[in-house]
């Protein structure tokens, strides 16, 4: 089995949250999403609090909703959770018109976003340490045999 497949088995989806038609451009929201994707829950929360853009406030609210969902599901340890998936897709465009001079009107598109967030639980620290020890032993043996020759 490949390393990615074994990693997926070691991780367990803890909670998810979804927001449809958020009034923020998907391009701007993806910039914030890229900051916290793959981060621990505590780090992601701290980073979003320090960001001063509208999309950060929206994603922070969604992150807190996912944390509440995880607590409701009965996840034992919130410290082991991390942002496993954060997708920002384009929602419907709201068409508006702005009055201009001499009775004309200019069209304006307001872009919206669909945001979905998934939290997963990392494998236990003991399991990760044991896995690292196995790989280090195997690497050390390989180096010793190569040095002897």
Give a yes or no: residue 137 inside a domain.
no
Residue 133: predicted pLDDT: 64
| pTM exceeding the 0.95 threshold for the entire prediction | no
The predicted-structure confidence for 47-86, as pLDDT tens digits, reads as follows 999 999 999 999 999 999 999 999 999 887 888 999 999 9
DSSP β-bridge partners for residue 113: 22, 90
- Maximal CA-CA distance, the chain: 89
Range of the domain at 80: 13-97+105-122
CATH number of residue 20's parent domain: 3.90.470.10
Residue 8 lies in a domain: no
């Amino acid at each position: 089995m490949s390393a990615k497949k074994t990693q997926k088995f070691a991780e367990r989806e803890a909670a998810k949250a979804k927001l449809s038609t958020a009034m923020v451009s998907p391009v701007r929201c993806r910039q914030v999403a890229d900051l916290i994707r793959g981060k621990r829950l505590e780090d992601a929360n701290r980073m979003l609090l320090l960001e001063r853009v509208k999309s950060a406030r929206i994603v922070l609210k969604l992150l807190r909703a996912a944390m509440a969902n995880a607590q409701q599901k009965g996840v034992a340890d919130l410290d082991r959770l991390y942002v496993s998936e954060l997708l920002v897709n384009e929602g419907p465009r709201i068409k508006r018109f702005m009055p201009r001079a001499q009775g004309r009107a200019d069209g304006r598109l307001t872009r919206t976003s669909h945001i979905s967030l998934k939290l997963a639980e990392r494998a236990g620290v003991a399991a990760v340490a044991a896995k690292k020890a196995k790989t280090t032993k195997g690497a050390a043996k390989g180096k010793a045999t190569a040095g002897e020759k």
